[in-house]
Amino acid sequence: MPRVLIATLCDDVREEVHGKHSIMGVFNQFNISDFRNPVNSFWIFARIEFEQDGEYSIGFQLRAVEGQPVLFNVDGGISLQSKNTSEIRPVGDIKVRVDGLRFPRHGIYELAILFDNNILQTIPIQVFVPQTPYVQ
């Protein structure tokens, strides 16, 4: 079974030399004052370890924890071919840009990382309305 090594939401993911990634602006909450507008674009980044080289289907699903409808569902694939023959298991990096997402209300949501339609891991996401400062 694959194992999620890193999974996060972030403002940007930059691919560097020699297979490195720079992840900027890591977060797990949204501060929304007007639910009619979409949130700013963001990225989902995941590094997943597999048992062997091959073709794998990976998906991401964002939904409310209370079982409300799914806000988005992304299905994709990853192809792994090791560059070395050491005993290290193959690792795949996945990055997905999310644009135009609107949350229907405040609350707790979760991003599920799926492998063959089974949940590998979830990331809790809090959506809240900012408190207006009290002015005298």
Residue 14 reports pLDDT greater than 70: yes
Look-up of token digits 């989902």:
44
Which one, of 133, 129, 131, lies nearest residue 29 by Cα?
129
Structural fold of domain 3-128: Immunoglobulin-like (2.60.40)
Token code pair at residue 111: 């991003």
According to DSSP, the residues that pair with 23 across neighbouring strands are: 13
- Which residue in 63, 91, 64 sits closest to 6, CA to CA? 91
In this prediction, residue 1 has a pLDDT band, given cuts at 50, 70 and 90, of: confident
At 22-68, the pLDDT tens digits run 999 999 999 999 999 999 999 999 999 999 889 999 999 999 988 76
pLDDT, one tens digit per residue, over 66-117 is 876 788 888 888 888 776 666 688 899 999 999 999 999 999 999 999 998 8
Q: pTM, whole model, 2 decimals?
A: 0.88
In 3-state terms the chain splits into helix, strand, coil percentages (rounded to 5) of: 0, 55, 40
Distance CA 126, CA 122 (A): 13
